[in-house]
């Protein structure tokens, strides 16, 4: 969504995003966690709002003093690439040495000021499951010193159900046990989706752009997925702009978004005995 209308865009200003009480609570808890360091976890289905939550959290954390926020965008990389990216994120030189020397040097470089690393970590990796294990294990070992008594980083992981499944496995138990703050984003109800959509219309300065009946219809068709809702709303906006419509209603939705049966599809009708 953007200030000039309903759009399914990733570059929406943070101040225009809708923040639920659960997301607000999660961000607050992570802000407190930063003072001590540790791991946090965001999970949810694709399109549920994980990336939006990370954007909101990164914005909040960047406002704190002595906190530097970095986003790991290539969690599927090998260890050498991982350390190079860490160095770029936090402005320190991390050389790809032998594992022990690399880890000790990185720990010294990251020790001050406190840093927060946010990133997406799913179960699928282009290089295979083994690399995911090594990377997350390396991150776990890097984050703490003095027998886990001194935490160097605050790490926020985000992923779908595959990440949760991995964390339940034996190889990830040491990491899973360190998750101190969790947020599970569930499928949204139609009422919650309507709240999101009305908020978007309000921020866009177009409260009456969509009829109440259309809003209810869109939220029912989205099946609890926020991304699906915004995609449909964005498509409708394009059609409405093309037709110079002053208001978007259910008629336009049926003309543009309702998918008719494909050719060759057989529809059986009958009556019960």
pLDDT of residue 10: 57
pLDDT of residue 11: 62
Question: 92 or 77, which is more confident?
Answer: 92
Question: Per-residue pLDDT averaged across 248-258, rounded?
Answer: 84
Strand, helix or coil at 91? coil
Q: Where are the alpha helices (DSSP H) in the chain?
A: 21-34, 50-62, 79-90, 99-110, 129-142, 161-167, 173-176, 190-203, 212-221, 226-242, 250-256
Positive/negative CA dihedral, 174, 117, 203, 235:
negative
Tell me which range, 13-22, 119-128, 230-239, is most confidently predicted by mean pLDDT.
Answer: 230-239
Cα(212)–Cα(149) distance, rounded to whole angstroms? Answer: 55
Cα(183)–Cα(43) distance, rounded to whole angstroms? Answer: 6
Pair of tokens at residue 215: 């809003």
pLDDT at residue 211 greater than cutoff 50: yes
Element housing 156 (H / E): strand 153-159
pLDDT of residue 256: 79
pLDDT of residue 102: 47
3-state DSSP percent of the chain in helix, strand and coil, to 5: 50, 15, 35
Taking only the tens place, the pLDDT of each residue in 145-154 is 655 656 777 8
Among 161, 158, 225, 237, CA closest to 192: 225
Q: Find the angle CA(179)-CA(185)-CA(188) to the nearest 5 degrees.
A: 170
Do β-strands 150-151 and 144-145 pair in parallel, antiparallel, or remain unpaired?
A: antiparallel
Surface-to-core class of residue 92, CB atoms within 10 Å of its CB (0-12 exposed, 13-18 middle, 19+ buried): middle
Taking only the tens place, the pLDDT of each residue in 87-115 is 777 776 665 554 444 444 444 444 444 55
What whole-number percentage of the chain has pLDDT above 70?
Answer: 68
Taking only the tens place, the pLDDT of each residue in 32-49 is 998 888 899 999 999 998
Question: Per-residue pLDDT averaged across 149-161, rounded?
Answer: 80
Pair of tokens at residue 109: 């470089």
pLDDT of residue 141: 72
Q: Where are the alpha helices (DSSP H) in 65-178?
A: 79-90, 99-110, 129-142, 161-167, 173-176
Question: 89 or 9, which is more confident?
Answer: 89
**Do 237 and 5 contact (CB within 8 A), yes or no?**
yes
Q: Which residues on neighbouring strands pair with residue 43, listed in sequence order?
A: 159, 184
Q: Which residues on neighbouring strands pair with residue 45, listed in sequence order?
A: none
Positive/negative CA dihedral, 117, 120, 122, 127:
negative
Question: 67 or 6, which is more confident?
Answer: 67
pLDDT band for position 185 (50/70/90)?
Answer: very high
pLDDT at residue 132 greater than cutoff 80: no
């Amino acid at each position: 969504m953007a200030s000039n209308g309903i759009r399914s865009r990733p570059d929406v200003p943070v101040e225009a995003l809708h923040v639920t009480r659960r997301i607000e609570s999660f961000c607050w808890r992570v802000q407190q966690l930063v003072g001590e360091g540790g791991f946090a976890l965001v999970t949810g289905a694709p399109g549920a709002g994980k990336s939006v939550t990370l954007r909101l959290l990164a914005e909040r954390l960047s406002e704190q003093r002595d906190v530097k926020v970095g986003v790991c965008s290539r969690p599927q990389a090998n260890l050498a690439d991982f350390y190079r990216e860490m160095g770029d994120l936090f402005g320190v030189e991390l050389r790809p040495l032998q594992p022990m020397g690399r880890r000790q040097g990185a720990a010294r470089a990251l020790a001050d000021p406190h840093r927060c690393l946010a990133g997406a970590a799913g179960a699928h990796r282009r290089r295979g499951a083994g690399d995911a294990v090594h990377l997350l294990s390396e991150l776990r070992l890097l984050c703490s010193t003095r027998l886990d008594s001194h935490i160097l980083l605050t790490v926020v992981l985000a992923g779908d159900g595959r990440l949760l499944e991995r964390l339940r496995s034996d190889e990830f138990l040491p990491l899973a046990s360190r998750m101190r703050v969790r947020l599970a984003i569930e499928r949204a109800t139609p009422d919650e989706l309507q709240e999101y959509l009305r908020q978007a219309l309000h921020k866009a300065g177009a409260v009456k752009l969509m009829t109440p009946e259309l809003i209810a219809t869109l939220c029912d068709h989205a099946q609890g997925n926020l991304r699906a809702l915004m995609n449909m709303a964005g498509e409708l906006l394009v059609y409405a702009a093309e037709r110079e419509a002053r208001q978007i209603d259910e008629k336009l939705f049926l003309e543009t978004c309702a998918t008719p049966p494909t050719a060759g599809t057989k529809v059986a009708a009958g009556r019960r005995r």
